[in-house]
Chains A and B, each alone.
Chain A
Amino acid sequence: MSTARILIIILVMTLCTYLPRALPLALFRKKIKSRYISSLLCYLPYGILAAMVFPSIFSSTASLISSIAGTLVALVLAWHRKSLLVVSVSACAAVFVVERLLDFLHIL
């Protein structure tokens, strides 16, 4: 694979990543007045973030069991309004501990 070819692919990728991010921000500069559309835009982030997390989170670690443990820890801490960092680090720690345990029991 030639260097020039890789550079061109990276350029195309850059455009195809930047344009979807930039166009709406460039075009929609005014507040949207429609009650329906502004409600939709208010709910949209939650719908999108939820779909990004589930079910992908269950295949984000080395085993389903450890990912369930991490998810539960994250849900409980988030429910108690812990900070992003605390939730995130605790979920990682839970996954780590459970995976060591599974390792020890020769399940992993």
Chain B
Amino acid sequence: MLSFRKGLKDGVPIALGYISVAFAFGMLAVEKGLPLWSPVLLSVTNFTGTGQFAGIDLIRSGAGLWEVCFTLLIINIRYILLSLSLSQKLSPEITFGQRLLIAFGNTDEVFGISIQKTEPLTMRYMMGIILCSYTGWNVGTVLGVLMSSALPVMVRTALGIALYAMFIAIIVPPARDSKPITKVILLSVLISCLLTFVPVLSKIGGGWRIIICGVISAALAAFLFPLDIKDDAAENKEAAK
């Protein structure tokens, strides 16, 4: 059984990465002239990276509500896939209300770590990992707002890679064990690079890019290397090896 403690422990690397990213967010918001309370309120209510960074400019430029809505939905559309994927891993005894609570904390990083568990995800575990990351995110924001220039630039730029490195640590070991997963990753990276560097394609926003890469690579792999259906998704992962 995945415990609350285990969740807290798994949340520590996320929280450390979040402190630095949220620090940058809080600092940038203040530098761009937003009132001090607004980045903190954004972090407490939104709990998302890219969307909040975009929000700084939206607030500053006095964007219309539809523009805010549209921009945020495009950035956040990937969450539909993350939550769909997570819905298949949650323990059956988790109630509807608890699912709505877990949804609030289903960030890229929380998803990335919880999805690699082989056991069904319990409510206690999810609360542990979410509480830990949420704390890191908000502490980071407050620190960024309060002491914009206290952290030397050289340390800040080095922290920029922290969350990406964590994702690498999440996807590489399973890729080592499963050829189909390796192919999914390589194909996704290839498409992602095409969508970033080919002139016309690069107009596609980041939110869509991630969706397109994820869906094409996973759909193709599901077609070429379908897994045996078992009750537990974890066993599917075994079967992929």
Closest-CB distance, A105 to chain B (whole angstroms): 15
User: A93 to chain B: which residues have CB within 8 Å?
Assistant: 158
Q: A1-34 interface mask toward B, CB cutoff 8 Å, 1 = contact, 0 = none?
A: 1010111111111101110111111101101110
Report yes or no: A92 in contact with B215, Cβ–Cβ below 8 A. no
Report yes or no: B166 in contact with A1, Cβ–Cβ below 8 A. no
Interface centre among A9, A33, A55, A87, by most chain B C-beta atoms within 10 angstroms, is A9
* B184 on the A face (CB < 8 A): yes
Instruction: State in angstroms the CA–CA spacing of A52 and B188 once bound together.
Output: 10
Instruction: State in angstroms the CA–CA spacing of A42 and B216 once bound together.
Output: 13
Q: B20-57 interface mask toward A, CB cutoff 8 Å, 1 = contact, 0 = none?
A: 00000000000000110010011001111001100100
Q: Which secondary structure characterizes the binding site on chain A?
A: helix
Report yes or no: B112 in contact with A49, Cβ–Cβ below 8 A. yes
Known A-B contacts: A5-B62, A39-B221, A87-B165. Give 9 more (CB < 8 A). A10-B55, A28-B88, A29-B96, A41-B85, A48-B211, A53-B171, A81-B173, A88-B163, A89-B162
B: which residues have CB within 8 A of A? 12-13, 16-17, 34-35, 38, 41-42, 45-48, 51-52, 55, 58-60, 62-63, 65, 68-69, 72-73, 76-88, 90, 96, 99-100, 102-104, 106, 108, 111-113, 115, 154-155, 157-176, 180-181, 184-189, 191-193, 196-197, 206, 209-211, 213-219, 221-223, 225-229, 231, 233, 236-237, 240
